[in-house]
Amino acid sequence: MSTSVRPYDPDAKQPIVWRGWLLYLLPLPLLPATFLALASGNVGAALARAAGFVLIMGAASFIRKGIKIDNEAVRRNLRRRASTVRYRFVGAIMASVGTFLVAWIGIVGSHGLISSILFALAVLGGCYLYYDFDDPARLPGVAGVGITNEELIELLDEAEGRIQRIEADARRINNTEFRDRLRRIAVEAREILRTIEQDPVDARRARKFLKVYLDGAQQVTEGYARAHRGEKDPALEDNFRRVLGTIETVIGEQQKKLAENNSTDLDVKIEVLQMQLEQEGVV
């Protein structure tokens, strides 16, 4: 019976719940083996086994990181790989070195230098066949001017987290008008995220907008939801209503600037929003 092994496809969305976790299990026997070597007085073997354990565990983390980044790149519809670091390749090298040390020094008298090198090469080949190496043609992964795809993904994930917190805080507010406006703000913010994903050329300039706008919107929503638990405060409601109006205006203008690939006046509007958030006293 024959079996065929095909390389990991970096363009296909892979399940990251389990993929790569086997590498965390493989070096576990090295832990008790290290203590046994110490107990028998073989310090060299103990150090080799300990180093092998650390290297293979590190390799698992690097390979998992590379798989996760590729899946994020597919999910985000980015045209390039999400990182300038070849995580899976580095992880495979670490696993190979760890295997070599354990085979050559960690297992006393069992393997010579040549056979230990062959074991290491077998591990390297196995990592390639099952996980693939990062494709250099898809590096360095620059999404826009001054920002890599990995930085862009982190920025988008942070922004999505703020949007989710805005939605959670909005559900704590009893005022129907405010809840509806916050829901619209969340929808429009996600539209901006999708626009940046599809054309990240302005991602560097949009980074300040996303951080300031969404962080300010999330803070003001959280502050109002917290302060509004007691009796109604008309002054607080008026302040919150004005801030929501400013946020809605700014996000509408940002959508227009992104559509025009023009952010000439954007920084000024963002700084105005920052000042208003501080002055209105709702954060």
Q: Where are the domains of the chain?
A: 22-138, 142-279
pLDDT reported for residue 82: 44
Asked if residue 140 has a cis previous peptide bond (ω within 30° of 0), the answer is yes
Assess whether pLDDT exceeds 70 at residue 49: yes
Residues in the chain: 283
Assess whether pLDDT exceeds 80 at residue 179: yes
pLDDT tens string 246-280: 888 888 887 777 777 655 545 545 556 656 556 55
Q: Measured between alpha carbons, how far is residue 235 from residues 203, 219, 231, 280 in Å?
A: 37, 18, 12, 10
Assess whether pLDDT exceeds 90 at residue 54: yes
pLDDT tens string 31-48: 999 999 888 889 999 999
pLDDT reported for residue 73: 64
Task: Select, from the ranges 12-26, 167-181, 222-236, the one with the highest average predicted confidence (pLDDT).
Answer: 167-181
pLDDT reported for residue 80: 44
Between residues 239 and 46, the one the model is more confident about? 46
* Bridge partner residues of 144 (DSSP): 147
Assess whether pLDDT exceeds 60 at residue 131: yes
Give the predicted TM-score (pTM) of the model: 0.54
Strand, coil or helix: what is 173? coil
pLDDT tens string 75-113: 665 544 445 678 889 999 999 999 999 998 888 667 788
Residue 262: φ, ψ to 5°:
-140, 120
Residues 6+ apart with CB under 8 A from 153: 69, 72, 73, 76, 78, 82
Instruction: Record the tokens describing residue 185, joined without a space.
Output: 């703000």
Where does 136-177 show beta strands of DSSP type E? 142-144, 147-148
Picking from 25-34, 118-127, 136-145, 231-240, which range would have the lowest pLDDT averaged per residue?
A: 136-145
Render 3-30 in DSSP notation, one character per residue: -------TTS---TTTTTTHHHHTTTTH
Residue 144: φ, ψ to 5°:
-155, -170
Residues 6+ apart with CB under 8 A from 164: none
* Bridge partner residues of 147 (DSSP): 144
Please give the DSSP secondary-structure letter assigned to residue 168: H
pLDDT reported for residue 6: 36
Render 49-82 in DSSP notation, one character per residue: HHHHHHHHHHHHHHHHHHHHHHHHHHHTT-SS-S
